[in-house]
Amino acid sequence: MAKPSERRRFLRTGLGLAALLGASGIAWLPTPAASANRLRPPGALEEQDFLSACIKCGQCVQVCPVSALKLADLGDGYGIGVPYIDARAQACDFSCDAVQCILACPTGALTYHKPADLPVRAGMPVAAPPVLLAKKKDPEPTLNLKERMGVAQLTRPELCLARQGKGHTGPAREAGFTGMMRFMSVDRWKPIPLNEHAFAVEICDLCVRTCPIEGAIRLIPLADGKMTPEVLEPCLGCGVCEMACPTEPAAITILPRQGWPHA
Amino acid sequence: MHNRLSESWRQLIGFAPRKPDAGQQQTEARVIHRTKREDKTRIEAFKAHRADIVRSTQWRNRRWAVLIATNLLFVLSFWLDIQLLEGSLTASRFLGFHMIDLNAALQVALAHKHIPINLIIGTVTIFLFWALLGGRAFCSWVCPYHLLAEWTERLHLYLAERKLVSDHTFHRGLRSVLWLLFAALALISGYTVFETLSPTGILSRALIYGPGLGLAWVVLLLLFEVAYSRRAWCRYFCPVGLTYGAVGSISPLQIGYHLDSCFHEGDCRKVCLVPHVLDCVIKGRASDTHVNIGADCTRCGLCVDTCPTGSLRFEVRGLQNLL
């Protein structure tokens, strides 16, 4: 028979095993934040595959010129160390041109070439290679992205300045806002704080003006001479319109990981 | 040689070291074991000097310097944007060349079931690197948790000396069971579950990208080690150690034990994170006059620093014979 001290150790080992496996259950903690539909970086695989493939190294975070990518924390539930974008705080404005985070990803969680056997949801692929306005004069003006990150929607039309016939003067956002953006008129390779740029428009069209993708959004007239933004199929869901929207909260927001509704 | 490798693996997965049969011992070693005690003058001479011998901290200092420098290089590469070593300990690029942690790579491969080329390149690179430099040397020379645990271990020993806490051991097979379970969990759930709990990854990311709630888990582990079980995570739990230990079993960089000069005082076993690998230093156990310490050894060098007779040394297998 084993000595009592050995029996105790055996019991302790069993308890240790159970405790650690129990602790690993924290990965599935249904915290409120975890249920939030997070916006993933461009080129991300479908959520389940993305969570499997991400090695949580943060190389995507390091290469982003506007620091749009954040890593989820333990309390955020499913996906500690996995990158996401909070578009209102800092959108992906494609100011790196080549989509650096995809190039940096060592495991293909962010990828240009999705393996053929992985699912493609309806509405996620873009109809044509997206034209990046900043690259318009380059020999190759398109982004090598086949699927969108999400899609923009005027979720709070009642707040939209254009729909009220109002303009906007001054910086896009409230004082103290630190989000960055590239302005081709300033420097192609050096993003500046969004608030360093002063706007002066008679009818607010900041979402249209700041959108980095050609033909993704436009302003159309309403019956009474007022205007409204209309999101179009090329929208990639990068979130620049949400970041630039001067109302608080934003009138236009990104529906993360949602496809083009009229596909 | 074959026997020694299998014994090394047995210990690595959690079995207690086996005492060698008299028949397995080399004649020369048997003679030393038998005659050692007879040379009384040599023992007396050693005992007279014993108190004067100052314990070295040479290897510990070198190791801490390397560990801190490596982690600092990650941090500075990002903060100063000098792009020498981008990423964190789970996966990184050194001057653009992929390096991927073997355990993290395994988790991702099992969970995702796709293995892109960069994952292969990075994993092979790191495998070769640690196969050369001693497997679990990753633990003691790179892993930031190891350093924190080493510091809090002192607190545990201080409190234990005053009978305020005591060390509760676990069966070392626990680590192997956890390795298998976390591999199975990754395969079945399609999620790298272990990465949620790995203090190595949590600490590395916290250093580079800023602190988070994950640090609470690391603190909890350290408190558990101080109050209840000495170095519990590295000794009994961490599957990363097992992965690197397996790689280190074929490594030429080893701690070598020299029976002839050893007085079997056991100082080395007291400072060792994995004392079972030093079973051969117990009187009568060494099967040969020179023994390579097993795969579970982290090559931390504490035993080398501690040994008053220089009977434990860093060695490169094969190179010794050439020189």
Question: DSSP per residue over B21-33, as a string?
Answer: PGGGS-HHHHHHH
Judge whether residue A199 has pLDDT over 60: yes
**Which residues in chain B touch residue A27, judged by CB atoms under 8 angstroms apart?**
191, 193, 196
d(CA B107, CA B121): 16
* A246-250, B93-97, B104-108: segment of lowest average pLDDT: B93-97
**Which residues in chain B touch residue A9, judged by CB atoms under 8 angstroms apart?**
168-171
Judge whether residue B321 has pLDDT over 70: no
Please identify which residue in the block is written with the tokens 């931390």.
B300
Q: Do A56 and B195 touch (CB under 8 A)?
A: yes
Q: How confident is the model at residue A30 (pLDDT cuts 50, 70, 90)?
A: low
- Identify residues of A whose CB sits under 8 angstroms from chain B CBs: 9-10, 12-13, 16-17, 20-21, 23-24, 26-27, 48-49, 51-59, 61-63, 71, 73-75, 78, 80-81, 104, 106-109, 111, 115, 118
pLDDT of amino acid A180: 96
B277-308 confidence digits (pLDDT tens):
999 999 888 888 899 998 999 999 999 999 98
**Which residues in chain A touch residue B173, judged by CB atoms under 8 angstroms apart?**
13
Q: Do A16 and B174 touch (CB under 8 A)?
A: yes
**Tokens coding B180:** 């298998």
**Which residues in chain B touch residue A64, judged by CB atoms under 8 angstroms apart?**
none
Residue B211 to chain A, least CA–CA distance (Å): 9
B102-131 confidence digits (pLDDT tens):
999 999 999 999 888 889 999 999 999 999
Q: Are B247 and B137 in contact (CB under 8 A)?
A: no
Q: Are A156 and A250 in contact (CB under 8 A)?
A: yes
pLDDT of amino acid B154: 95
% residues pLDDT > 70 (chain B): 98
Mean pLDDT of B166-175: 93
Judge whether residue B29 has pLDDT over 90: no
Q: Do B191 and A51 touch (CB under 8 A)?
A: yes
Judge whether residue B194 has pLDDT over 50: yes
Judge whether residue B25 has pLDDT over 80: no
pLDDT of amino acid A247: 96
Mean pLDDT of A189-193: 93
% residues pLDDT > 90 (chain A): 71
Q: Are B255 and B293 in contact (CB under 8 A)?
A: yes
What ipTM does the predicted assembly reach?
0.86
Among the partner residues B78, B104, B217, nearest to A62 by beta-carbon distance: B78
Residue of A nearest to B204 (CA): A57
Residue B88 to chain A, least CA–CA distance (Å): 5
Q: Cα dihedral sign for A102, B94, A56, A63?
A: negative
Among the partner residues A17, A80, A106, nearest to B178 by beta-carbon distance: A17
